[in-house]
Amino acid sequence: MKLEQIVYVNASPEKVWEAMTSPEGTRAAFFGSELKSTLEVGAPFEYVGPGSEGEATVHVYGGILAAQPGRRLSYSEHPGPSYYENHAELRTRVTFELEQVGSCTKVTLVNDEWTENHPGFGNAAGAWPMVLSSIKTWCETGKTLDFGW
């Protein structure tokens, strides 16, 4: 199983990286969650934000596989403990590739290496277009998208 999305953002790769990694950017793009990590290869990470366990719900967690500012971010992830009892057994890999194209940045997202029978695949398929649209909107306008939740 594999999800792949591409979006072009009218911003520099550095601005897109900021959207993907800074507290302000991740809150805007990842449904109010912040990325908590040193972004060093092998370091842990988690996206923490509003959810079923309050303001500090862990939505996903895992380990950093690659982090090249303005170029590439890759991590292995597990769903947060509040989503599935067997969350530690469920794994997938997420990779963002950033490429300068003229004055824009091509963002390629690949979400692959899903464990067999991972129940989160359908949710991810619906959420990634929202995340990428939110990254694009925040980089281009400084605003967030309201999905009505």
- Per residue of the chain (149 residues), what is the pLDDT tens digit? 899 999 999 999 999 999 999 999 988 888 888 899 999 999 999 998 877 776 788 888 999 999 999 999 999 999 988 888 899 899 999 999 999 999 999 999 999 999 998 999 988 999 999 999 999 999 999 998 888 76
- Provide the CATH number for the domain around residue 98: 3.30.530.20
Q: Name the domain count of the chain.
A: 1
Please name the amino acid found at residue 102. Answer: G
- The answer to the question of residue 89 being in a domain is yes
**Residue numbers of the domain that contains 92:** 3-141
CB 127 within 8 A of CB 133: no
In-domain check, residue 118:
yes
Helix 13-21 / helix 121-141 crossing angle, nearest 10 deg? 130
* Residue 149 within a domain: no
